[in-house]
Structure 1
Amino acid sequence: MMRLVECVPNFSEGRDKNIIESICDAIRKVKGVYLLDFDPGEATNRTVVTFVGEPEPVLEAAFQAIKKASELIDMSKHKGAHARMGATDVCPFVPVSGVTVDDCVELSHRLGKRVGEELGIPVYLYEYAATRPERKNLATIRKGEYEGLPEKLKDPEWKPDYGPAEFNARSGATVIGCREFLIAYNINLNTKDRKLAHEIALNIREAGRAKRDKDGKIIRDEQGKAIKIPGIFKAVKAVGWYIEEYGLAQVSINFTNYKISPPHLVFDECCRQAEKLGLRVTGSELVGLIPLEAILMAGRYYLRKQGKSPGVPEEELIEIAVRSLGLDQLYPFEPEKKIIEYTVAEKRRFEEMRLRGFVNEVSVDSPTPGGGSVAALLGSMAAALGSMVANLSYKDDELMGEKGMELQRLKDEFLREIERDAQSFDAVIEAMRMKAKTEEAKKAKEEAIKNAYLGAARVP
Structure 2
Amino acid sequence: MIPVLEAVPNFSEGRDPGFLREVTVEMTRAGAEVLDASSDPDHHRSVVTLIGGVGEIEDALVAGAEVALRAVDLRRHRGVHPRIGALDVAPVVPLAGTGMEVARASAHRVAVRVAALGIPVYLYAGSTPEHRSLADLRRGGFESLVDGFPTGRSPDFDAGRTSAHPTAGVTCVGARPLLLAWNLQVEGISFDALSMVARELRESGGGLPGVRALALRLERAGTLQLSMNLEEVERRDPDAVFERASTDVAARGGRIVATEVIGLIPDALVLRTGARRLRLLGADSQRLLSTRLVSHLARRGSGDLDTLVNWARAASAGAPPEVLAAAERLHSSSHIPPPPVDQA
TM-score by length of 2: 0.65
- In structure 2, the partner of 1:159 is 154
Deviation string, structure 1 residues 377-417 (Cα, Å, up to 9, x no partner): xxxxxxxxxxxxxxxxxxxxxxxxxxxxxxx95x8634543
The answer as to whether partners of 2:4 and 2:52 remain within 8 angstroms in 1 is yes
| Aligned positions of 1:17-416 closer than 5 A | 17-41=17-41, 43-75=42-74, 77-82=75-80, 83-116=82-115, 118-130=116-128, 136-153=132-149, 157-162=152-157, 163-167=159-163, 168-180=165-177, 181-184=179-182, 206-207=201-202, 230-231=206-207, 233-236=208-211, 254-263=229-238, 287-288=261-262, 289-292=264-267, 295-296=270-271, 313-315=287-289, 413-414=295-296, 416=298
TM-score by length of 1: 0.51
What 5-or-longer segments of structure 1 have no aligned partner?
Answer: 209-227, 241-249, 278-283, 316-341, 343-407
Distance 1:237 1:173, change over 3 A: closer
Q: Secondary structure at the match of 2:6?
A: strand
1:115 is displaced (CA, Å) by: 1.3
Larger Rg belongs to? 1
Aligned residue identity for 2:211: V
Distance 1:269 1:79, change over 3 A: closer
1:38 is displaced (CA, Å) by: 2.6
Aligned residue identity for 1:174: T
- In structure 2, the partner of 1:417 is 299
- In structure 2, the partner of 1:382 is none
- Among all aligned residue pairs of Structure 1 and Structure 2, give the percentage whose two residues are the same amino acid: 24
Q: Secondary structure at the match of 1:290?
A: coil
The answer as to whether partners of 1:7 and 1:58 remain within 8 angstroms in 2 is yes
Distance 1:2 1:152, change over 3 A: same
Aligned partners of 2:335, 2:139: CA distance in 1, in Å?
Answer: 51
Aligned partners of 1:97, 1:86: CA distance in 2, in Å?
Answer: 29
Deviation string, structure 1 residues 152-203 (Cα, Å, up to 9, x no partner): 24x674432112234432432222223441243879xxxx9879xx99x969
Aligned residue identity for 2:173: I
The answer as to whether partners of 1:236 and 1:261 remain within 8 angstroms in 2 is no
- In structure 2, the partner of 1:353 is none
Aligned partners of 1:172, 1:312: CA distance in 2, in Å?
Answer: 43
The answer as to whether partners of 2:24 and 2:34 remain within 8 angstroms in 1 is no
Distance 1:430 1:291, change over 3 A: farther
Aligned partners of 1:312, 1:121: CA distance in 2, in Å?
Answer: 42
The answer as to whether partners of 2:73 and 2:86 remain within 8 angstroms in 1 is yes
Aligned residue identity for 2:122: Y
Distance 1:108 1:454, change over 3 A: closer
The answer as to whether partners of 1:5 and 1:54 remain within 8 angstroms in 2 is yes
Distance 1:433 1:115, change over 3 A: same
Q: Secondary structure at the match of 2:39?
A: strand
Distance 1:151 1:158, change over 3 A: farther
1:65 is displaced (CA, Å) by: 0.7
Q: For this pair of structures, how many residues does the alignment match?
A: 314
Aligned partners of 2:271, 2:151: CA distance in 1, in Å?
Answer: 47
Aligned partners of 2:214, 2:138: CA distance in 1, in Å?
Answer: 26
The answer as to whether partners of 2:92 and 2:174 remain within 8 angstroms in 1 is yes
Distance 1:128 1:148, change over 3 A: same
Deviation string, structure 1 residues 300-327 (Cα, Å, up to 9, x no partner): 7899x66669698523xxxxxxxxxxxx
The answer as to whether partners of 1:10 and 1:88 remain within 8 angstroms in 2 is yes
Distance 1:185 1:430, change over 3 A: farther
Aligned partners of 2:294, 2:44: CA distance in 1, in Å?
Answer: 44
What 5-or-longer segments of structure 2 have no aligned partner?
Answer: 216-224, 252-257, 337-344
Q: Secondary structure at the match of 1:103?
A: helix
Q: Secondary structure at the match of 2:5?
A: strand
The answer as to whether partners of 1:92 and 1:177 remain within 8 angstroms in 2 is yes
Aligned partners of 2:25, 2:171: CA distance in 1, in Å?
Answer: 20
Aligned residue identity for 1:67: E
1:207 is displaced (CA, Å) by: 4.2
The answer as to whether partners of 2:201 and 2:245 remain within 8 angstroms in 1 is no
Deviation string, structure 1 residues 264-305 (Cα, Å, up to 9, x no partner): 55578899x79xx9xxxxxx96735333355456677899x6
1:69 is displaced (CA, Å) by: 1.7
1:46 is displaced (CA, Å) by: 3.2
Q: Secondary structure at the match of 2:182?
A: strand
Distance 1:176 1:302, change over 3 A: same
